Structure 1
Amino acid sequence: MQTLNEVSQKCPQCCCSCTTPFFNSTISSHNTTPPKLRNSSAEWRHSFAVTTTSSIFPNTQFTNHESLPSLHESFNEFTKVFPQYSDTEQVDYVRAKDYFHLSLSNQTCLDYIGIGLFCYSQLQHQLPSSSVPQTPQFQPNYSDIPFFSIHSKTGSLKTLLLHGGQDSEFEGAMRKRIMSFLNISENDYFMVFTANRTSAFKLVADSYQFQTSRRLLTVYDYESEAAEAMVSSSEKRGARAMSAEFSWPRLRIQSKKLRKMIESRRKKKKRKGLFVFPLGSRVTGARYPYLWMSIAQENGWHVLVDACALGPKDMDCFGLSLFQPDFLICSFYKVFGANPSGFGCLFIKKSAISSLESSPSAGIVNLVQDSSSVPDLELIHNTTSTSPHEEKKPFPLSSFSGPMQSKQSEVVEEGEPTDTNLKAPQCSEIEEMQEPVQTLEKSNVQESGIQCGCLDQVDSLGLILITNRSRYLINWLVNSMLKLKHPNTQGVPLVKIYGPKVKFDRGPALAFNIFDWKGERVEPVLVQKLADRSNISISYAFLHHIWFADKYAEEKGKVLQTKVVTTTTTTTNKKKKDRVGISVVTAALGFIANFEDVYKLWAFVARFLDADFVEKERWRYLAINQKTIEV
């Protein structure tokens, strides 16, 4: 079995921001862990957390939303704690030049996690000038945004992989561009376009040999529509579905239980089934030790990696050649803050084709280039693309919110003060990635009449800049949220955060709930609706598979709730167990998020310190929408 030291030596990167997935593990092992490398990385991460918690609004609690420091004051303090944030100002230039619609609409988009393909400024070249938005009143019609559409494709996944299909020039160029962007070799993996993320998961479940390798083991701390679709399909085909559990209150993987499920008594030479491993939580921002993949492989599992929660350049330090998963899934959307439609990507290792069956498969699609994307041709609108973000749960705006533009809804240490001018160790291999990437694949796409502007921008910005920027922003937001307290003698916290709090290697997603002065939770759906009225797009989700130690037994009954599900079928005990969890509000930072975005969310949440805020907003809504107002 590989030790953590062996894994770190094989990892192509050496910057601590990239190696932390290998070293934050609590996995027990018969092998010893090298103390020097582990301590060096751990000390840096701890120092970052200590500095953040002790330097942002030190010894301060905010009990009134009107007492919050201004945006300008907060930004000045933010840059004192994170002076390296100024090194990421190139992102601000990109945002101002190519995503100007965010400023025009005054919209803060915190409900996206994933990777975009195109930048908004490309619409100026794809749409007639008369239809390009130039005013804040513009409300985009997603079907009017061109580039490509998707058409469903029937047949067997295994047959398609074995005998291939004819790609159009556009589809072949897009395939090469994406594989180049993700650092995935065409010599090792096949790539299939799917309608969305959920379709990719179901496609594997419909094709995998569950008749002989009967187990499905997933690792999700939240209710994932994609994972649920896979579980449902696999169980119909005879699979036994299992799930990892997460320890309360920080929602870390329950390592002993997961190891026991992976190492269940069965001959190692015989395949046990499919291990589905997300590299991080799209909801809580938790990052999981990559070593779990090696443990699963050594115990006879096929491994499917869910990379949908990764940042835009995180695949650069994943170590694909080291872990070599059998399947990998990610998704792309079109334009950030304007068009969330897109497609899913399923990668199958060529040696894993034998694990599939030749059964009918749904969800495979072809990409069809719209003629509007080709110069000098008549504009044809895209009307068939579907969104890869099925887990976002739309709410009826008419039930509470006023009129506004269409958008997506639902579904990513404390101590003594130290040096506030922290600077992460640099690595020459990583630094090279910050140079603009000029590849043949990119040129092929452009020759086909389309340019992936967002992918080009991300390649140019590089891994370190993007990762550091999101790290500073998300940890400032987490720490600032925890400074909000109700103005009563008990000092009841306004916000409860689930999963990692201030942490160097947390992801750019946050799960939380708001509580009133009596300690009663404000429903996440209501929080989302009120945020929407403030032009802040956030989501909500359902955390589940939570394990409580005996010392938290009393807290368990107060925290957990049963999700109401309308169903006409008989529910098994297992399914009833899956419906027990916690509904939460979620926010996620895209790569062009800025300080104003996180400040606006913080200031909005602080308004709940006013005990009458919700009631005032309800009356305000009625006053705005009724035809006559009686005084």
Structure 2
Amino acid sequence: MRKLQSPNLKELSQGCLQGCCKSSSFTVSQPQNKVSKPRTSAACRRDFAATTTSYIFPNTQFANHESLPSLQESFNEFSKAYPQYSETSVVDQIRAQEYYHLSFSHHTCLDYIGIGLFSYSQLEKYDSSTHQIASSSSRLPTPSPPRILDTPFFGVSYKIGNLKTQLLHGGQGSPLESAIKKRIMDFLNISENDYCMVFTANKTSAFKLLAESYPFQSNRKLLTVYDYKSEAVEAMINSSEKKGAQVMSAEFSWPRLRIHSGNLRKMIERKRKKKKKKRGLFVFPPHSRTTGARYPYLWMSIAQENGWHVLLDACALGPKDMDSFGLSLYRPDFLVCSFYKVFGESPSGFGCLFVKKSTVSVLEASTSSGMVNLVPSKNLLQLIDESSGTDTELDPAPKYKLQEEELAMSSQPGKPAEEEIFETQKAETTLKGSETPETSEPRKPADLVELGNAKSKGNGSIEIECRGLDQVDSLGLIVISNRARCLINWLVSALMKLQLPNTEGIPLIRIYGPKIKFDRGPALAFNVFDWKGEKVDPVLVQKLADRSNISLGYGLLHHIWFADKYQEEKDKVLEKGASETKGKSGHKRKEKIEPGVTVVTAALGFLANFEDTYRLWAFVAQFLDADFVEKERWRYTALNQKTIEV
């Protein structure tokens, strides 16, 4: 076994990796007398996997966490395997300049995936006590330990209404909403001539809202393609079943969790009694947010050809994936996406439900909740004072009028909640600290009012500076994809090098779904196993990671299909039974668990760097020590903290 310098997570937090942005000296020599033939796409993919295997600690297994190579040595190996990573150094510059709080907090944020609207430097443009506008928006703030800032750029107020009526006659909304809507549609390359849009509280609200308006009484089927349990999908299923829908789900073949193509095609192509009648709703994510498995877009075409309405779950798309999606080719009937505010902060925000204009007429008139208005924080405080006392469901018609002088006093972004992971947070989280004190700062002329994130024009419209979206646009699809591809495949390879000692080659972890693969997504599902071969509770792994300032997710893989040769393994893999939870009244109750596999999840955003992946690897390697969990439990008790529940 290899004996190298021991990595120390505390030492890692003392400074950033030296040389992260330098080009690698690694080159592949070509014979001078031969003309290289053009490589096919398949050859590029094979070469990528072979290179990863050859250069990431070749012929090496690590059975002791103290034998791991240092961060710098690991980065050197990484650079040899992926010399193209150096071409993405502009991301490191953006992270250092616009998201410097990540370095000060030493936080490795791997527990959610999505797209942020604003940068942290935008959030810091105002003084936290006076909320005065910074004297120069272009000057980089002097780095300092991040403060806890509660005041948001904007908040949301819930409204109850008719989705169909809102789509047909809702209008543009307030200047703030119109500006954000335009920026998002430009970002997603969606034309207002083809689609109309409403804001929702989150992804779950969008799915539920659509289910309550979709005509499941006549188009009776709901077919979903998810290898993990999703709160949004569950909400849609519950609403559709109340309307008499027949719910079906794609299955995923063990052990690689690919779509069981034969079964899915049968469900899609099942004969209709009337060919002109639509079958129902086909819900399709381009890839799994949990395992990173990517699915062929062709499934949408097959569904459309067989009379299905198609809902594209664009929340699973990468930051620039819509550039290569081919919206004009597939043209889904519905599209859902979500945005959070600032990466590394509480990731609240909102969801967006797009409906193709030619499909709006299909929807039923149904009064539903879930739609929201975007409200500047000063107006949000006004709404609270005028409301009947509830924070989550405010008046359907917000009692405010957006004025330019009010916009000038709007404050910065606050503490939000990305749907799915932070679903329990409600709108009231955006209300904290939203009061804006009066300031004697002279106001600017009405034709241009700077907000840090918005500028007002003389015609009453405003432009929103969404620096998070601007950064993604400037980077482009190739840079973002290449960076994520290098990092996620290195992480997979490094984790697979961890082997429990004295156990005849039993790996420490098991990865579910794709492993080293050119076109896998930047998400990972895995479990840790102890020396007895028993799975360590994913919730415990998540809690211990949090102790090391590493945020991980938790999920349930389901709809797994086992071929005959894996039937014996099925009983060992699938978890059945019930869990004990506490209800609202405090009484314990049994809750049934759907058969599946509980897993730890990690997701790499476009700002992830090599140090983030290394920190996760070094943390997981500590489970090679058979006493690691007991040591951590003792340390919790010694520090007079609450003992971890196993």
What TM-score results when the alignment is normalised by the length of structure 2? Answer: 0.79
Do residues 493 (structure 1) and 507 (structure 2) align? yes
Amino acid at match of 2:597: I
Gaps of 5+ in 1: 1-38, 396-442, 569-575
Q: Please, which moves more after superposition, 213-222 or 559-568?
A: 559-568
What residue number does 2:479 align with? 465
Contact 1:471 1:504 in 2 (8 A): yes
Contact 1:510 1:587 in 2 (8 A): yes
| CA distance in 1 between partners of 2:424 and 2:361 (Å) | 40
TM-score under structure 1 normalisation? 0.80
> Does 2:295 correspond to 1:280?
no
CA drift at 1:191: 1.1
> Do 1:123 and 1:145's aligned partners in 2 also have CA atoms closer than 8 Å?
no
The amino acid that maps onto 1:54 is S
**Residue 599 of structure 1 pairs with residue 606 of structure 2:** no
Q: Distance in 2 between matches of 1:577 and 1:564?
A: 4
The structure that has the greater radius of gyration is 2
Per the TM alignment, residue 54 of structure 1 is displaced from its structure 2 partner at its CA by 2.3
RMSD: 2.7
Which range is displaced more, 42-51 or 203-212?
42-51
Alpha carbons of 1:375 and 1:460: their partners in 2 closer, same or farther (altered >3 Å)? farther
Aligned to 2:234: 228
Q: Distance in 1 between matches of 2:422 and 2:177?
A: 28
Name 1:107's counterpart in structure 2: 107
Distance in 2 (CA, whole Å) between partners of 1:127 and 1:181 is 30
User: Matched residues in 1 for 2:497 and 2:424: separation?
Assistant: 30
> 1:88 aligned to 2:88?
yes
Q: Is the 8 A contact 2:578 2:593 kept in 1?
A: no
C-alpha distance in 1, partners of 2:529/2:580?
27
CA distance 1:127–1:275, change in 2 (3 Å): farther
Contact kept in structure 2, 1:195 and 1:388, CA below 8 Å: no
Structure 2 counterpart SS, 1:485: coil
Alignment of 1:332-351 (within 5 A): 332-351=339-358
Q: CA deviation at 1:558?
A: 0.6
Q: Which residue of 1 aligns with 2:488?
A: 474
Letter in 2 for 1:487: P
- Which amino acid counterpart does residue 345 of structure 2 have in structure 1? A
How big is each residue's C-alpha offset from its partner over 1:36-62, in whole Å with a ceiling of 9 and x where there is no partner?
xxx932222122112112221100000
Q: After superposing the two structures, state which structure 1 stretch, 265-274 or 329-338, moved more.
A: 265-274
2:179 and 2:464 in contact (8 A); partners too = no
In structure 1, distance between residues paired with 2:561 and 2:543: 31
State the shift of 1:282 in Å: 0.4
Query: Once the 2 structures are TM-superposed, how far is the Cα of residue 382 of structure 1 from its aligned partner?
Result: 7.0
1:547 maps to which of 555, 561, 568 = 561
1:299 aligns with 2:329: no
Tell me which of 321, 330, 335 is aligned to 2:328.
321
Q: Deviations over 1:81-101 (max 9, x none)?
A: 100101000000000000000
CA spacing shift, 1:303–1:449, aligned 2, 3 Å: closer
How many residues align? The count is 534
Percentage of identical aligned residues: 67
Taking structure 1 as reference, are residues 69 and 227 closer, same or farther at Cα in structure 2, changes over 3 Å only?
A: same
Question: Where does 1:179-578 land on structure 2 (aligned, <5 Å)?
Answer: 179-266=185-272, 267-371=274-378, 377-378=408-409, 387-392=417-422, 446-447=455-456, 448=462, 450-562=464-576, 564=578
Deviation at 1:269, TM superposition (A): 2.1
| Distance in 1 of aligned mates of 2:477 and 2:243 | 41
Task: Give the 3 Å change call, closer, same or farther, for CA 264–370 of structure 1 in structure 2.
Answer: same
Q: Which amino acid aligns with 1:140?
A: I
Q: Distance in 1 between matches of 2:323 and 2:577?
A: 38
1:532-572 Cα offsets, whole Å, 9 max, x none, are 0000000110000000000001111111102635799xxxx
C-alpha distance in 2, partners of 1:600/1:551? Answer: 37
Aligned equivalent of 2:65:
65
Task: Give, in angstroms, the shift of residue 251 of structure 1.
Answer: 0.3
1:609 equivalent in structure 2: 624
For the residues of structure 1 that align with 2:40 and 2:405, how far apart are their CA atoms? 53
Q: Give the partner amino acid of 1:67.
A: S
Counterpart in the other structure of 1:140: 148
| Gapped regions of structure 2 (runs ≥ 5) | 1-38, 135-140, 380-403, 426-451, 457-461, 584-590
Does 1:159 pair with 2:165? yes
2: distance between equivalents of 1:168 and 1:96? 35
Deviation at 1:130, TM superposition (A): 7.5
Task: Check conservation: 2:523, 2:604, Cα contact below 8 A.
Answer: yes
Q: Are 1:371 and 1:377, in contact at CA under 8 Å, matched by a contact in 2?
A: no
Q: What amino acid sits opposite 1:615 in the alignment?
A: E
- Matching residue's letter, 1:55: Y
Are 2:153 and 2:410, in contact at CA under 8 Å, matched by a contact in 1? no
